[in-house]
Amino acid sequence: MRRLYRRPRDRHRAHEDNRGPRVSGGGLARPEQRHLHRGRDVPDVRRILDRDVQQVLSELQLQRALHLQADTFASVYLQNQGSNRFAVTVLPNLSQISPVRGIIAADVDGDGNLDLVVAGNLYDQEPNTARADAGSGLWLRGDGRGRFTPVPVALSGFLAPRDVTGLALVKTPAGNAVLVANNGDSLQAFLVKRR
């Protein structure tokens, strides 16, 4: 389980200060460290890396901090089983190489089983962080039991390697089509052909 503690934004500022604290040697602390120490110098970042958050922040700072918690960073499929219960299935490794920013759940190949079409990438990162651009979009063939198998692009014909912001399934006179919205780029359209 990962936790992030972050100082709430000042009501007079519309954005976070990106300068970060100075560390010994004159450099800037890494982005994930700067939020803990805004407004004060950090003599040696290595001294805080192996400490618990309670050893770095005061009790008052912890009470005022925004607390975020994640149990997983994996892209998952959530299946509603009714009665407020959901089954969680981690998607295959090929769909974990970049952020999934769009997902369609539909029977793509006409076999009666739910398939997933996923795409992602994330270009707008902080300056010290490489962009997450390894994804090329993926059709995941469902087996009807909540498990999915990646279909290679050579067989699926689905290639969405840009800064994808969303997917939509639309009906056209020629049949269903997957629309891919790309940040700052053209819209892509893929006709779904039943096999």
Across the range 44-61, mean pLDDT stands at 76
184 vs 3: which has the higher pLDDT: 184
The pLDDT of residue 23 is above 60 = no
136 vs 51: which has the higher pLDDT: 136
Mean pLDDT estimate for the chain: 81
Residue with tokens 């300056």: 127
For position 9, what pLDDT does the model report? 58
Q: How confident is the model at residue 117 (pLDDT cuts 50, 70, 90)?
A: very high
Across the range 18-22, mean pLDDT stands at 39
The predicted-structure confidence for 140-195, as pLDDT tens digits, reads as follows: 999 998 899 999 999 999 999 999 999 999 999 999 999 999 999 999 999 998 76
Across the range 28-56, mean pLDDT stands at 59
Across the range 48-61, mean pLDDT stands at 79
Short-list 130, 136, 7, 146, CA closest to 63? 7
Residue with tokens 């999915």: 148
* Cβ neighbours, 10 Å, residue 195: 7
For position 75, what pLDDT does the model report? 93
Burial 134-146 (b: 16+ CB within 10 A, else e): ebbbbbbbbeeee
One DSSP character per residue, 71-109 reads S--S-EEEEEEETTEEEEEEPPGGGGSS-EEEEEEE-SS
Q: How confident is the model at residue 20 (pLDDT cuts 50, 70, 90)?
A: very low
